[in-house]
Amino acid sequence: MRILFVCLGNICRSPTAEGVLRQQLERAGLADRVEVASAGTGDWHVGKGPDSRTCRAALARGYDLSKQRAQQVKPEHFTRYDLILAMDSSNLQDLKALRPGTASAELDLFLRRNDAPLDEVPDPYYGGADGFEQVLDLIEGACQSLLVEIKGRV
């Protein structure tokens, strides 16, 4: 199974989701059966690492995001990945607009697969440290729910 997380610039929310799910898959013994990546709908940060505040917040919870590099969503992602999960409805609309006619990937909002109090993962980029903590809380919970789904699919 292949999963791609998508946000706007691929430096805050989607790399966090990639790192959290990757670690949960390792703990569950499924890392060799599920490929996880992240991308952004925009190209501003391609090739750069995650935002330093994202990395600090993630590392404080045991997630090392330092090796990740931002990439932009490409047409081939829609056939390479089975599941493409957007962080918010704007990202989902962008994905639907970019989706080629031959696409096989399932598109959805990430938090729709969980009983989170929100439907969207808020973008912490322009806020303070508490925003990055909230993002981690939401992503950790949603990844636990996604892990249950993955176990039923692989």
Q: Is 123 known to be catalytic?
A: yes
Q: Is 55 known to be catalytic?
A: no
Task: Using only the alpha carbons of the chain, give its radius of gyration.
Answer: 14
Nearest alpha-carbon partner for 8 in 124, 105, 134, 104: 124
Q: Which of 51, 88, 94, 123 is catalytic?
A: 123
5/50 Cα distance (integer angstroms): 14
Contact 41, 6 (CB under 8 A): yes
Q: Is 13 known to be catalytic?
A: yes
Q: Which of 13, 51, 88, 94 is catalytic?
A: 13
133 burial class (0-12, 13-18, 19+ CB within 10 angstroms)? middle
Alpha carbon distances (Å) from 146 to 54, 80, 84, 89, 141? 21, 19, 12, 19, 9
Q: Which of 7, 12, 55, 143 is catalytic?
A: 7
Backbone angles phi, psi at 110, to 5 degrees: -55, -50
Catalytic sites, residue numbers: 7, 13, 123
